[in-house]
């Protein structure tokens, strides 16, 4: 069971996996994705609609989505009365509800409200039991909670090995607002690792190349320039904007 969502990247219609779901799948590229079922269903609903799919057959270059995608929800519009293969199953809405209460993307009271509406449509959801199970799963160490929310990607997902301890420590430091220093030979995957962390946490990543910095003040802060009126204006460097917005800032080649 997976949840996918239609989206626009520029002008290109594509699909993505919904973030923070239990199966933690890798990204799907619509150009290299084929459907065993009816893919036209995707275009019959608004952009941003979340669909449930039963299974995915993974390949090296192309993956196949098995079965017709079933529309589950779009913002606060819940689907349940659709006829045919596109109608969500009881398993679909239960999986969607579990994702909502565990992902922190949708507030708990709103998730319960959605589940109640699905029950009114005729679906069976044990709201109390699922909420209790989530609370019990929230127990444990900080590492347990972080690894449940941001599971370490497998080598199959990323193309290279990621150490689970390093994955946990980096995410913990991002959550705490602490800095991290990654040391390793060129090509060992330091920058790529940070990129995967940013994608998993859905945070913008800004990269500052420190290897080319000769004048730290002008490269990191900015320079004074004369405007058309002959007055001095301070032209801020991009780094200033990087550290002022929420996200992750990578100081690449800091050792130089």
**pLDDT, tens digit, 9 for 90 and up, residues 160-176:** 899 999 999 999 898 88
Within a 10 A sphere around the Cβ of 44, how many other Cβ atoms? 11
Give the CA distances from residue 53 to residues 35, 63, 138, in Å, rounded to whole numbers and listed in that order: 10, 13, 27
**Per-residue confidence (pLDDT) for residue 192, from 0 to 100:** 92
Give the CA distances from residue 174 to residues 126, 146, 151, 198, 247, in Å, rounded to whole numbers and listed in that order: 35, 11, 15, 9, 9
**Per-residue confidence (pLDDT) for residue 30, from 0 to 100:** 54
Indicate the domain borders of the chain. 2-139, 146-252
**Per-residue confidence (pLDDT) for residue 186, from 0 to 100:** 86
Within a 10 A sphere around the Cβ of 173, how many other Cβ atoms? 13
**Per-residue confidence (pLDDT) for residue 139, from 0 to 100:** 57
Task: Please tell me the distance from the alpha carbon of residue 144 to that of residue 137, in angstroms, as a whole number.
Answer: 9
**Per-residue confidence (pLDDT) for residue 256, from 0 to 100:** 79
**Per-residue confidence (pLDDT) for residue 33, from 0 to 100:** 66
- If you compute the radius of gyration of the chain from its CA atoms, what whole number of angstroms results? 22
Task: Please tell me the distance from the alpha carbon of residue 146 to that of residue 8, in angstroms, as a whole number.
Answer: 30
Give the CA distances from residue 246 to residues 107, 122, 204, 250, in Å, rounded to whole numbers and listed in that order: 21, 42, 7, 13
Give the chain's residues under pLDDT 70: 22-37, 58-63, 81-85, 104-105, 135-140
CB 18 within 8 A of CB 3: yes
């Amino acid at each position: 069971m997976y949840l996918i969502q239609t989206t626009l990247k520029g002008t290109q219609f594509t699909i993505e996996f919904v973030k923070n779901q239990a199966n933690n799948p890798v990204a799907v590229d619509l150009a290299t994705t084929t459907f065993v079922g009816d893919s036209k269903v995707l275009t019959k609903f608004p952009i941003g609609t979340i669909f449930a799919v039963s299974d995915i057959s993974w390949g090296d270059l192309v993956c196949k989505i098995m079965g017709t995608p079933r529309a589950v929800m779009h913002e606060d519009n819940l689907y349940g009365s659709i006829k045919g293969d596109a109608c969500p199953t009881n398993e679909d809405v239960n999986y969607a509800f579990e994702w909502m209460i565990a992902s922190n993307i949708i507030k708990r009271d709103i998730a319960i409200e959605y589940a109640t509406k699905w029950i009114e449509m005729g679906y069976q959801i044990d709201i109390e039991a699922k909420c209790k199970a989530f609370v019990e799963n929230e127990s444990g160490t900080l590492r347990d909670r972080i690894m449940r929310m941001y599971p370490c990607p497998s080598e199959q997902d990323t193309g290279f090995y990621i150490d689970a301890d390093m994955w946990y420590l980096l995410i913990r430091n991002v959550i705490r607002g602490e800095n991290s220093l990654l040391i390793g030979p060129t090509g060992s995957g330091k920058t790529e690792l940070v990129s995967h962390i940013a994608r998993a946490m859905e945070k913008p990543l800004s990269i500052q190349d420190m290897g080319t910095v000769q004048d730290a003040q002008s490269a990191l802060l900015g320079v004074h320039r004369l405007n058309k009126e002959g007055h001095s204006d301070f032209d801020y460097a991009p780094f200033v904007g990087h550290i002022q917005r929420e996200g992750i800032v990578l100081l690449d080649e800091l050792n130089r």
